[in-house]
């Protein structure tokens, strides 16, 4: 066999290249493995770093690949398909410790007000104990990274993508210091517990988590450790993301895995879960050229930051982004359902007709959706072709295959509002 | 049964017909198979032609023709249920049957012991 989209041989290296490619960062800079030296949690001097759960992944039979400079499990013995289905049916435990955890603390300047210089989002109005999705924009109105911002009372807690974290920290330092203290945490792991059983499982360790609603954040003691918990995730399911001191991470993971409803889930299923949920992957569905409006993320831009809002503009690329909010952009990110069984993966060109010469757009993420039971994709198309029901054609191995524009998510979200 | 370095198996049936599939090892490495595209019956193939497309949850791969010949039958079952490739790759989930003239084409391929050694 020869591999078309992965490496040249069907070894574990396939996964490696596949997933190495999947989190490339458009946020300026070469993210070669081992290029970052700030993470003191990493036991080695060079090469891919390890999360505090590395040994546990090996013990659980995780197939390790390099991803954003880290050794991460792409799957466990259960396999991508069953891991995906298990997360939708019960609960899955993900190690996302490679992501960047950053604290912003007010000194001479209010951290929330200051952060609004970098994101088109209402940070100043974010209530204590609440979290909000945001994106760092650039002067051209593109997206440098997407992130979560939580108001934890005396500080903001920000979580950014692994491949972008060095650039994000540099960006925040340049824009916010010295008025605001910017601290990249290197002593905390990050776990995600996702799925309909997540509440019951986590409540077994501390019933307080039952009271949390979608996007609430709280400090909760779990397995003896002080954890920063948010009710959120990247799967379209109810669940929690848990920042835990590195030294306590393995004990917490074991306590969660001890529950019969919990399986460990790798990066492979994380990708198919978020794809079905219609969620963007940075470097693929959004990048330095796509604006939040094109990406269908206008909902994340609150009224107060829009034209005529009390704090209108004032973020990079405001001119383009505010204009697109009113005039509608030339292209839009849409959901795509191939009519046949062939998956349409990233890079597949989209055409208006079976025989037209020039593509009108491109698939930015695509694959097989285990819950949908069919291939699915997302990509950018001209605004005139973005209405659900529009038929387009994706070119796969030289053949034009019919694909239909559909609303996202592909699977209904199960958040606890 | 013979094996190729591309992780295909070839089993001789009667009348110069060879059944071709992929090995357990290959199926395991591919992960959950979600799509299979087979050639049309009657297609004349040459060694190293891309005859089958197989996609798993992870990636798309080609199956290269291991021999020269003519496709006389394909296994539609794995088109309808690609997951069978993971369940029984060396049995029910065969890919296609090829009629060949020159049986010596198989001589260079590995026997089971050699293949087991090859995959280590």
Task: Please name each of the domains of chain A with its CATH number.
Answer: 12-96+187-276 (3.30.1360.120), 330-417 (2.40.30.110)
Q: Identify the helix (H) or strand (E) that includes residue A222.
A: strand A217-222
The residue behind tokens 């280590």 is B120
Does the residue B73 lie in any domain?
yes
A392 in Cβ contact with A350 (< 8 Å)? yes
Contacts of A36 (CB under 8 A, 6+ apart): A49, A69, A165, A166
Q: Which residue out of A1, A21, A338, A372 would a mutagenesis test of the B interface target, given it has the greatest number of B Cβ atoms within 10 Å?
A: A1
**Separation CA B40–CA A49 (nearest Å):** 48
- What is the arithmetic mean of pLDDT over A320-329? 96
- What is the arithmetic mean of pLDDT over A191-202? 98
A26 has pLDDT over 70: no
- Residue A13 sits at φ, ψ, to 5 deg, of -65, -25
Does the residue B116 lie in any domain?
no
Q: Do B6 and A1 touch (CB under 8 A)?
A: yes
Chain B residues within 8 A (CB-CB) of chain A? 6-8, 22, 26, 29-32, 34-35, 37, 50, 53-55, 57-64, 79, 82-83
Average pLDDT score, chain A: 91
Given strand A131-137, what is the order of strands in its sheet? Answer: A131-137, A143-151, A156-160, A100-106, A180-184
Note down the domain range covering B71.
Answer: 2-101
Residue A75: CA atoms inside 13 Å, Cβ hemisphere, count? 26
Q: Environment class of residue A6 by beta-carbon count within 10 Å: exposed (0-12), middle (13-18) or buried (19+)?
A: buried
Does the residue B114 lie in any domain?
no
Q: Do A272 and B57 touch (CB under 8 A)?
A: yes
A107 has pLDDT over 50: yes
**Separation CA B3–CA A248 (nearest Å):** 49
**Per-residue confidence (pLDDT) for residue A3, from 0 to 100:** 56
- Residue A268 sits at φ, ψ, to 5 deg, of -60, -50
Q: Can you give the CATH number for the domain in which B72 is found?
A: 2.40.50.100
A98 in Cβ contact with A184 (< 8 Å)? no
Q: Do A375 and B53 touch (CB under 8 A)?
A: no
Does the residue B69 lie in any domain?
yes
Does the residue B59 lie in any domain?
yes
Distance from CA of A236 to the nearest CA of B (A): 19
Q: How many residues does chain A have?
A: 417
Does the residue B45 lie in any domain?
yes
Angle between helices A267-276 and A12-22 (to 10 degrees): 50
Say what the ipTM of the complex is: 0.85
- What is the arithmetic mean of pLDDT over A74-95? 97
User: Out of A8-17, A180-189, A339-348, B1-10, which region has the weakest mean confidence (pLDDT)?
Assistant: A8-17
A406 has pLDDT over 80: yes
A&B contacts, CB < 8 Å? 81
Distance from CA of B7 to the nearest CA of A (A): 7
| Six token digits for residue A275 | 């794809």
- What is the domain count for chain B? 1
**A210 C-beta neighbours (distance < 10 Å), count:** 11
The residue behind tokens 């360790």 is A205
Q: Identify the helix (H) or strand (E) that includes residue B24.
A: helix B24-30
Q: Do B61 and A3 touch (CB under 8 A)?
A: yes
The residue behind tokens 């490619």 is A21
A13 has pLDDT over 50: no
Q: Identify the helix (H) or strand (E) that includes residue A379.
A: strand A374-382
Instruction: Please choose, from the candidates A138, A94, A398, A74, the residue with its C-alpha nearest in 3D space to the C-alpha of residue A239.
Output: A94
| Six token digits for residue A259 | 């529950």
- First vs last Cα of chain B: how many Å apart? 18
Q: For each of chain B's 120 residues, which pLDDT tens digit applies? A: 999 999 999 999 988 999 999 999 999 999 999 999 999 999 999 999 999 999 999 888 999 999 999 999 999 999 999 999 999 999 999 999 999 988 999 999 999 999 999 998
């Amino acid at each position: 066999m020869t591999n078309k989209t992965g490496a040249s041989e069907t070894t574990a290296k396939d996964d490696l290249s596949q997933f190495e490619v999947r989190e490339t960062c458009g946020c300026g800079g070469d993210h070669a493995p081992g290029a970052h030296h700030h993470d003191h949690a990493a036991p080695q001097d060079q090469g891919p770093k390890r999360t505090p759960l590395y040994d546990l992944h090996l013990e659980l039979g995780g197939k390790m690949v390099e991803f954003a400079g880290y050794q991460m499990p792409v799957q466990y013995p259960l396999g991508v398909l069953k891991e995906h289905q298990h997360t939708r049916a019960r609960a899955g435990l993900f190690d996302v410790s490679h992501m960047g955890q950053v604290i912003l603390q007010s000194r001479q300047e209010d951290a929330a007000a200051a952060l609004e210089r970098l994101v088109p989002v209402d940070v100043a109005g974010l209530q204590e104990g609440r979290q909000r999705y945001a994106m760092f924009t650039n002067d051209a109105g593109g997206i440098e990274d997407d992130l979560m911002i939580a108001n934890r009372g005396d500080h903001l807690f920000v979580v950014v993508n692994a491949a972008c974290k060095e650039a994000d920290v540099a960006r925040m330092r340049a824009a916010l210091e010295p008025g605001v203290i910017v601290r990249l945490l290197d002593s905390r792991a990050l776990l995600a517990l996702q799925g309909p059983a997540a509440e019951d499982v986590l409540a077994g360790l501390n019933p307080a988590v039952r009271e949390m609603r979608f996007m609430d954040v709280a400090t909760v003691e779990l397995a003896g450790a002080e954890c920063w918990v948010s009710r959120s995730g990247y799967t379209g399911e109810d669940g929690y993301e848990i920042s835990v001191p590195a030294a306590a991470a393995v004990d917490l993971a074991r306590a969660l895995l001890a529950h019969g409803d919990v399986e460990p889930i790798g990066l492979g299923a994380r990708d198919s879960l978020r794809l079905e949920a219609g969620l963007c992957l940075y470097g693929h569905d959004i990048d330095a050229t796509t604006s939040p409006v094109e990406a269908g993320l206008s909902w994340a831009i609150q009224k107060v930051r829009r034209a005529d809002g009390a704090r209108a503009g004032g973020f990079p690329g405001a001119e383009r982004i505010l204009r697109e909010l009113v005039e509608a952009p030339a292209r839009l990110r849409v959901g795509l359902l191939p009519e046949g069984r062939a998956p349409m993966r990233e890079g597949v060109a989209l055409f208006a007709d079976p025989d037209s010469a020039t593509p009108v757009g491109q698939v930015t993420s695509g694959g097989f959706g285990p819950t949908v039971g069919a291939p699915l994709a997302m990509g950018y198309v001209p605004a005139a072709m973005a209405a659900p029901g529009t038929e387009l054609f994706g070119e796969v191995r030289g053949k034009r295959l019919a694909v239909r524009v559909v609303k996202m998510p592909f699977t209904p979200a199960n958040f606890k509002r | 049964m013979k094996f190729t370095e591309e992780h295909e198996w070839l089993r001789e049936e009667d009348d110069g017909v060879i059944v071709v599939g992929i090995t357990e090892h290959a199926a395991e490495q591919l992960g959950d198979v979600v799509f299979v595209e087979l050639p049309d019956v009657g297609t004349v193939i040459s060694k190293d032609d891309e005859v089958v497309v197989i996609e798993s949850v992870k990636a798309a791969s080609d199956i290269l023709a291991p021999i020269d010949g003519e496709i006389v039958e394909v296994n539609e079952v794995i088109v309808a249920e690609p997951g069978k490739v993971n369940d029984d790759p060396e049995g029910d989930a065969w890919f296609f049957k090829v009629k060949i003239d020159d049986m010596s084409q198989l001589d260079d391929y590995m026997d089971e012991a050699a293949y087991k050694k090859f995959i280590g």
